[in-house]
Amino acid sequence: MLNFITRYFSSVWSLITWPFRAIWRMIARIFPSREFTVMDTPNGNVYTYQQSSFWRFTQFCGKIGLIIWAAWSTYVFIYHRPMLQKRTAQLEEMRATHDRHMADLQTYLNKFNELTRNLNVTDDKILHADKLTDKQKEELLNNRLKTWGELDFLRTRLTEMFTNSDYAPEYTKMAELSAEYEITRAENVALHKQNEQITENALLIADADAKIVDAVSKMTTTNIDDLRQNMKKINSTITSLGLNENALVEKANKYSSPMVGSAFSPMQLDKNLDPKYQKLADGLELWNGLSKMARILPLGAPVQSVRVTSGYGKRNDPFTGKPKQHRGIDFAGKIGTELMAVAPGRVVSAGERVGYGLTVEIDHGLGFTTLYAHLSRATVARGDWVRPGTVVGLGGSSGRSTGPHLHYEIRYKGNPFNPSNFVKE
């Protein structure tokens, strides 16, 4: 034995440590040391680092340990979590059962004390029954028997509670009934106060609603009267075109453009509501239609200094001297006089027309257009949107004209009509 040791090992210690050194040599073969180079490009330096076998083996063990820990944690989470939840649910159920039994026990104890007191009182009365009548004595005995019967029932229930593991109460606990009664009473008090507050608020809202409806109705009526008064001067012209207020209001409410806004949707309210609300809705619809119509219709003069040199109707043609229908109104002016749009609209044409010279025509909606003729220059182009007061051209004498002026027409569905009432302010 000693020869074997001295032949292959230098000492006893080398013999003892030989398995560990063999294991380490195997680890060193599996995880040999490595070198890697890092270059510092800006400075041109090169750094060489070495990872020993021990460091690499330590990293490997750390990764294996992390993987094992993650796998174990996942297993515990997937397998043991449902079991824990089940045990927790069972514990909660047992706790609830215990609480219910304790409440029942407290109820039985209170009832037992009450019955015991009643029994003692009854026994005392029986002992001092010298002055009682037979009927009263019989009533006392009956009460005593009844009390004993109830006590016997309580003993039976208590015995069952402590001996039967599947015990369940046969009726709702008095403690729960008492608690629910208190909660319900508190809720009823709160609801009563809330109902009183709602009633007060409803009265205030009804009062405010009446005031608002009256104020809006009054304002609507006043504004409608003012709008009708302003539109009164063109009523005869509107009638001659085969139109009326209701038809124009309906068209105005349905009309929409970037200049006058979107269409107005009539409000149809429930027939069960107070009729005043539908009346108010109708008034708002009429007010909106009239105000919108007042913005759409080309009312006003296209020039600042209004001087009419030739009106609408029959006249002698300045070139031939023969009677001829004049389809618009001529305004006096110099070349370069600014001509303005009288209402919002979109330019539908801007260019030369036979006899009219350089013209601008604007579509205002509802079938109404305005035409500016004999211009020296148009300052808008087809497709442009214009507002009231926008300069659309400059006065001139182009086309069939005897001198500088503006020939101005208002047309409905392409047909000119007498614009005098529309131009007058």
Q: What is the pLDDT along the chain (425 residues), one digit of tens a residue?
A: 556 556 666 666 776 777 887 888 888 888 888 776 777 667 667 777 777 888 888 888 899 999 999 888 887 777 777 777 777 888 888 887 777 777 777 777 777 778 788 878 777 777 776 677 777 777 777 777 777 777 777 777 777 766 766 665 544 444 444 455 455 666 777 777 787 888 777 777 767 666 666 666 666 676 777 777 777 777 778 888 888 888 888 888 888 888 888 887 777 767 777 777 777 777 778 878 888 888 889 988 999 888 888 889 888 877 777 888 888 999 998 899 999 999 999 999 999 999 899 999 999 999 999 999 999 999 999 999 999 999 999 999 998 888 899 999 999 998 999 888 888 75
Return the closest-CA partner of residue 399 out of 380, 375, 382, 377. Answer: 375
- Whether 22 and 41 map to the same domain: the answer is no
Element (H, E) at 348: strand 345-353
- Whether 35 and 18 map to the same domain: the answer is no
> Looking at the domain assignment, is residue 179 inside a domain?
no
- Whether 159 and 228 map to the same domain: the answer is no
> Looking at the domain assignment, is residue 81 inside a domain?
yes
Distance CA(370)–CA(360), nearest Å, equals 8
The last residue of a domain, from among 122, 140, 163? 163
Residue 402's CB: how many other CB atoms inside 10 A?
A: 9
Q: Give the angle subtended at the CA of 253 by the CAs of 252 and 258, to the nearest 5°.
A: 75
- Whether 274 and 288 map to the same domain: the answer is yes
> Looking at the domain assignment, is residue 47 inside a domain?
yes
- Does the predicted model carry a pTM greater than 0.75? no
Pairing type for strands 391-395 and 385-386 reads unpaired
Return the closest-CA partner of residue 384 out of 400, 361, 411. Answer: 361
Distance CA(339)–CA(392), nearest Å, equals 6
The torsion angles phi and psi of 409, rounded to 5 degrees, stand at -125, 145
pLDDT at 375: 94
User: 296, 260 in Cβ contact below 8 A?
Assistant: yes
Helices (H), 164-173: none
What separation in angstroms does the CA of 209 have from each of 201, 212, 315, 405?
Answer: 12, 5, 61, 57
User: 341, 356 in Cβ contact below 8 A?
Assistant: no
The last residue of a domain, from among 163, 196, 212? 163
- Whether 349 and 399 map to the same domain: the answer is yes
Virtual torsion, Cα 409, 415, 421, 425, nearest 10 deg: -40
10 is in which domain, residue-wise?
A: 1-29
DSSP 103-122: HHHHHHHHHHHHHHHHHHHH
> Looking at the domain assignment, is residue 106 inside a domain?
yes
The last residue of a domain, from among 119, 135, 163? 163
- Whether 285 and 316 map to the same domain: the answer is no
Residue 296's CB: how many other CB atoms inside 10 A?
A: 22
Q: Dig out the tokens for 20 from the structure.
A: 């560990």
SS3 state of residue 27: helix
Total number of domains in the chain: 4
Token pair 């094992």: residue: 68
SS3 state of residue 202: helix
DSSP 17-84: HHHHHHHHHHHHHHS--EEEEEEETTTTEEEEEEE-HHHHHHHHHHHHHHHHHHHHHHHIIIIIHHHH
Element (H, E) at 124: helix 81-127
Up-side HSE of residue 318: CA atoms within 13 Å toward CB? 8
Distance CA(295)–CA(317), nearest Å, equals 35
> Looking at the domain assignment, is residue 187 inside a domain?
no
Q: Which residues contact 283 (CB under 8 A, 6 or more apart)?
A: 217, 220, 221, 224
Distance CA(122)–CA(148), nearest Å, equals 11
pLDDT at 11: 66
- Whether 315 and 291 map to the same domain: the answer is no
pLDDT at 344: 94
> Looking at the domain assignment, is residue 371 inside a domain?
yes
